[in-house]
């Protein structure tokens, strides 16, 4: 499996996407390809896609040292800088492909989290101190524009959209870990600890071992149907993040919740096919049994972290990865199927670029933890503190 993962990631998938998803005429990465691998036209280009491409190719450059990966990351960063920076210091949601075209000026929390995450990886391959300084500027603007000192956390966007979600907070924690490990300084670790506290206080439903997805303006559980929604894929993401947070900080508060979330997600969110379903309820019953690609990658990551830090069998991660390979990747070369019915029938006809982020992290983590001679062990807490 390790040989396949390495070949698929660095020979089949990423070099193809570095070439095919990039539009040289306009200088950015498109949001999707067709199922035959052709760029799909779009009126507006996504900030999220540029940020996720910046991360994906930066990590590939870190792992391989290949020039194509570095150049692709440079292109993603150049597009972000040229088209998406807002006067507030944040980053707008979308921009027309051409330099003088219109922009969608909304300031979305989720987008900011991914720009920060990408900057943490860009800093490792060429961005250096300038990337870390840009991350500090972005975070200061995020606090100023979207921060909610009364209830905690950050607003969904600059229009105060409701309901609020745990999801962008989760990805901001991921960004803080990346910036900490890139040498951004102890402030990122302190900020990460504050988000973990927010998770324990507001997002964790300890009674059911699940994660609250939607919340009120003051971060109380949302009422009605929204308050019942649970996404097993997000629970798996939190498992991976919490265990790596403990690796970085020694915070023992997270071990119990990580184990609890993993057990619930496996029990309620994993169907007979071995896949994670899209949505369950707080009661554990399946609400949407379709199989999106990204939750399968998060199940692999969570199982790898449970193996690495708690001794769960590596076979659990292997089984999740085998299922992902068999159904969503199939014999599609560098492409994939984003969504399947519960019976395994494809539901989508395009290949979203944004999913590179999930696949790159899933496969690089697999190679690091399970691959023979692939990658280095996760640094101990004392080692990472010196970065």
Long-range contacts, 267-275 (Cβ 8 Å, 24+):
268/210, 268/230, 268/232, 269/230, 269/232, 269/233, 269/235, 269/295, 270/232, 270/299, 271/342, 273/323, 273/327, 273/342, 273/344, 274/319, 274/320, 274/322, 274/323, 275/323, 275/327, 275/340
One DSSP character per residue, 292-342 reads EHHHHHHHHHHHHHHHHHH---HHHHHHHHHHHIIIIITT-TT----EE-T
Measured CA to CA, the distance from residue 208 to residue 185 in angstroms comes to 36
Omega before 163 cis (within 30°)?
A: yes
The CA–CA distances, whole Å, from 382 to 33, 226, 249, 253, 375 equal 43, 41, 9, 19, 19
| Cα–Cα distance, 306 to 235 (Å, whole number) | 13
Question: Which two tokens mark 147?
Answer: 């921060």
- 3 located within any domain: no
Q: Would you say residue 60 lies in a domain?
A: no
Q: What is the residue-level pLDDT of the chain in tens, covering all 387 positions?
A: 999 999 999 999 999 999 999 999 999 999 999 999 999 999 999 999 999 999 999 999 999 999 999 999 999 999 999 999 999 999 999 999 999 999 999 999 999 999 999 999 999 999 999 999 999 999 999 999 999 999 999 999 999 999 999 999 999 999 999 999 999 999 999 999 999 999 999 999 999 999 999 999 999 999 999 999 999 999 999 999 999 999 999 999 999 999 999 999 999 999 999 999 999 999 999 999 999 999 999 999 999 999 999 999 999 999 999 999 999 999 899 999 999 999 999 998 999 999 999 999 999 999 999 985 333 445 444 333 322
The 10 Å Cβ neighbour count of residue 278 is: 20
Is residue 264 assigned to a domain? yes
- Domain enclosing residue 154, as ranges: 108-376
Whichever domain contains 195, its CATH number is 1.50.10.10
User: How many CA atoms are closer than 13 Å to the CA of 354, on its beta-carbon side?
Assistant: 13
Say if 251 falls within a structural domain.
Answer: yes
Counting the structural domains of the chain, the total is 1
The answer to whether residue 231 sits within a structural domain is: yes
Q: Are 248 and 225 in contact (CB under 8 A)?
A: no
For the chain, state the CA radius of gyration: 20
| pLDDT given for residue 378 in this prediction | 52
Say which DSSP state 251 is in: -
At residue 376, the pLDDT reads: 45
Which DSSP helix (H) or strand (E) runs through 29? strand 28-29
Give the pLDDT score at 375: 39
Pairing verdict, β 164-165 and 204-205: unpaired
Separation between Cα atoms, residue 137 and residue 78, nearest integer Å: 17
Q: In this structure, is residue 48 part of a structural domain? A: no
Q: Are strands 210-211 and 214-215 parallel, antiparallel or unpaired?
A: unpaired
Q: What is the pLDDT of residue 371?
A: 85
**What confidence score (pLDDT) does residue 111 get?**
99
Q: Are 216 and 161 in contact (CB under 8 A)?
A: no
pTM: 0.96
Q: Is residue 69 part of a domain?
A: no
Residue 212 tokens, joined: 């609250």
In a domain, 309, yes or no: yes
């Amino acid at each position: 499996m390790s040989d396949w993962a390495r070949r698929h990631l660095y020979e089949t998938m990423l070099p193809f996407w570095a070439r095919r998803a990039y539009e040289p005429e306009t200088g950015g990465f498109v949001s999707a390809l067709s199922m035959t691998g052709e760029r799909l036209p779009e009126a507006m280009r996504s900030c999220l896609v540029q940020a996720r491409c910046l991360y994906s190719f930066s990590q590939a450059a870190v792992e391989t040292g290949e020039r194509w990966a570095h150049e692709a990351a440079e292109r993603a960063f150049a597009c972000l800088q040229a088209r998406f920076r807002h006067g507030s210091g944040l980053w707008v949601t979308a921009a027309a492909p051409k330099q003088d075209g219109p922009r969608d000026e909304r300031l979305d929390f989720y987008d900011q989290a991914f720009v920060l995450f990408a900057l943490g990886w860009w800093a490792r391959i060429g961005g250096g101190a300038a990337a870390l300084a840009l991350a500090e500027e972005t975070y200061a603007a995020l606090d100023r524009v979207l921060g909610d000192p009364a209830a905690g956390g950050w607003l969904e966007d600059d229009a105060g959209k409701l309901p609020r979600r745990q999801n962008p907070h989760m990805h901001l924690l991921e960004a803080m870990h990346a910036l900490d490990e890139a040498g951004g300084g102890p402030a990122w670790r302190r900020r990460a600890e504050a988000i973990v506290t927010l998770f324990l206080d507001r997002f964790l439903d300890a009674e059911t071992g699940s994660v609250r997805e939607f919340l009120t303006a003051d971060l109380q559980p949302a009422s009605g149907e929204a308050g019942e929604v649970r996404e097993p894929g997000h629970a798996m993401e939190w498992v991976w993040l919490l265990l790596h947070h403990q690796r970085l900080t020694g915070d023992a508060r997270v071990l119990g919740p990580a184990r609890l979330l993993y057990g619930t997600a496996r029990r309620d969110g994993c169907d007979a096919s071995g896949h994670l379903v899209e949505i369950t309820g707080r009661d554990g019953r399946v609400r949407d049994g379709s199989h999106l690609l990204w939750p399968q990658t998060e199940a692999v990551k969570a199982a790898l972290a449970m193996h690495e830090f708690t001794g769960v069998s590596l076979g659990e991660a292997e089984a999740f990865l085998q299922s992902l390979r068999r159904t969503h990747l199939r014999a599609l070369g560098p492409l994939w199927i984003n969504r399947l019915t519960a019976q395994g029938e494809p539901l989508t006809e395009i290949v979203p670029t944004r999913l590179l982020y999930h696949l790159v992290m899933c496969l690089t983590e697999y190679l690091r933890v399970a691959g023979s001679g692939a990658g280095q062990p996760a640094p101990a807490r004392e080692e990472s503190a010196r970065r």
